[in-house]
Each structure stands twice: as structure tokens, then as C-alpha cells.
Amino acid sequence: MKAIPITGHTRIFGLIGHPVRHSLSPAMYNTLFARFEIDAVYLAFDVDPKNAQKVADLIRVMGLDGVNLTVPFKEAVMPLLNTTTTAAAEAGAVNVVIQTDGELVGFNTDGEGFIRALSEEAGPQIEGIHAIILGAGGAARAVASGLLDRKAARISILNRSQARAKQAASALKASFPDGRIDVGPLDAKAFGLIAGSAALVVNCTAGPAAPTIGTFEPKRLGGPQATWVDVNYWMAVPPAQTRCEDAGVRFYDGLGMLAHQGALAFELFTGHPITGAELLTFLRGQK
């Protein structure tokens, strides 16, 4: 790999969110830029959530070519963009923004990235599945959208805020009118009531919910294909991992999803295709 010196012509990409200092994205993308000898740099921008309405202006004014968005900006930035893709509209969130001549286009690669990672990791058959989604934010909606697009039979959203869960379900229903989508509180009792018919759990909640998630019983999940995915790849020990291992439930961290959505984003940024499998090998070495 050949490192290209940073000059006034170097294209700037980055991650916007809060917090972002734990992110593996700068190492991942800068390694790819060097590999393909692309004159670009990728930085992490930790932005105060109070400035959510200024994020789009930041991208335009600073001349950023493209950014990844993470919490808490995936939903807040949508109305501030010039246009969004169908996948972003279905998810109600964007995680990639590309700028061309001041025009901002929003994409969502989270849902497709999750589906590709699940397939690569030999996860359960999606068509006809009952999946429990923990959380109701942008990542949760993107994952739910990806599952519904592949004919999942039922999506159950468990979230601390019932109003937010119902809002997410309503938005998903608008895109998938034939989908069965229900909501419930984020607690062990609600989980236990529906777990028997579910073969997939995806934890999309933030860190503060970890103690609650740790009280859930993965052994209640139905069938030999039962799988638990926690998208919080940076957590040393995700809250349900030990219980899943004890119960014989397959457990995956979020690195697969990060790798596959990152591969899709890199192609949007540069036009260079890269496989999620290649990125996953790199990320495993970084963790």
C-alpha cells in the first residue's frame, strides 16, 4: 500500500456522531484509501447532539465529499438533505451522505449490510421468520426494513419508549403494508412472552440499555436456528453473549454488519467495489 501525502486537493470523508472516538471506521477507510491509492482522508467528527440541525450545513460548508452518520443523527438529518434513496426512506434514517456540487443525497446501507452479514454468517432463513428487534432508532428500523424486504413474517419491536416504538412500526407499515409489526416494552417479561416463536433477536439499543438486555433469557427462543445479533461491536462483552452461549443460541457481534455496510459505503464514496468479507478480516484484526 502506498500512502498519499495530504494536500489541498485531498478529498475529505468522515464519521459524524456522538460518541465516535471508539469507532473503527477511520482505520478501515484510511487503509482502503491507501490500498487503492486514493487521495482522500477519513476523520471522526464528534458533534454535540444539540447541533443536529447544523450537520447538513457542516457537510456543505466544509466541503466534505461524503460522511457516515451514526447516533444520534441518522434520523435528524433526513429533512435537511436534498434527496434520499428508497432504502433510506423505508428505514426512516440515513447512514451515508454524499455531496455533489452542494447537493446532499442520503443513503442507508445498514439494512443491506445486516442482511449480507447474516447470510455470510449462516444465520437463519429470513423468509417467514419472526424477529425481535431491541430498540427503535435508525439502525433498528434499517434492520427491520431489510428483514421485511426479504419476507420476514413478523417483526416485534421492544423499546423503552412506546411512543417511539409505535412511530417506528407505523413508518415501517407504510412501506410494508402486508408486514406484521408489533411493539412492546423493553423488559424481560415482554421478551419472554414472544420469544418462543422468534428465531432471531437483533439488539440495536445503546449502551445504557445493557443491564436490561442482560436480564433477557435467550433460551426461550424457538428452534435450532435461534440467533442473537448485537450491533454494538465495540462492547467487550455484549450483555446477552454469555447467556446465549450457555443456552446454545448462536451469537454474533456487529462487526459483520459494520464490514458489509462499510463496503457498500466505500463504493458509494469512491466507486471502488470491496467485499464485506475482506473488511471483516481487517476489522477482526483491529478489535
Residues tagged active-site: 74
* 8 Å CB contact between 228 and 250: yes
Residue type, 107: F
Cell numbers found for residue 22: 471508539
What single DSSP character describes residue 24?
Answer: S
Cell numbers found for residue 215: 436480564
Residue among 203, 233, 225 nearest 215 (CA): 203
Residue among 199, 95, 122 nearest 156 (CA): 199
N- to C-terminal Cα distance for the chain?
Answer: 21
3-class state of residue 126 by DSSP? coil
258 φψ region: left (φ > 0), alpha (ψ -120 to 50), beta (else): alpha
